[in-house]
Amino acid sequence: MADEYESLAEKNELTYEEAIALKEEIQKRRESGQLAADVVLAPGKWHATPIRNAEIAVGFVNRDPAQGPGEVSMTNRPDGWVDCYWWFIGG
């Protein structure tokens, strides 16, 4: 997963599935106490993820590791989707 994790961490725009995979890997590494060099690939980086609706978007930002204050911005689109801009903290 390290190569895939690095690839996802470097992207600015992620699909919902990619964003979930990145969050899952971040959480897995935090739980294992892993602090290898590749964990902090991007000390701080904004990602954009389009999400189907507001309810799913809220669930996403609250999913472990949850975004904190100032680490997310959401914009409703006319088609019902939500553009979610979230801060990635590498490890």
pLDDT in tens, 23-77: 898 888 888 876 454 444 445 789 999 999 999 999 999 998 888 888 999 999 9
pTM of the model as a whole:
0.79
Q: Which residue has the higher pLDDT, 1 or 55?
A: 55
Number of domains in the chain: 1
pLDDT of residue 27: 85
Range of the domain at 43: 2-88
Torsion of CA 73, 79, 80, 83, to 10 degrees: -20
DSSP single-letter state for residue 89: -
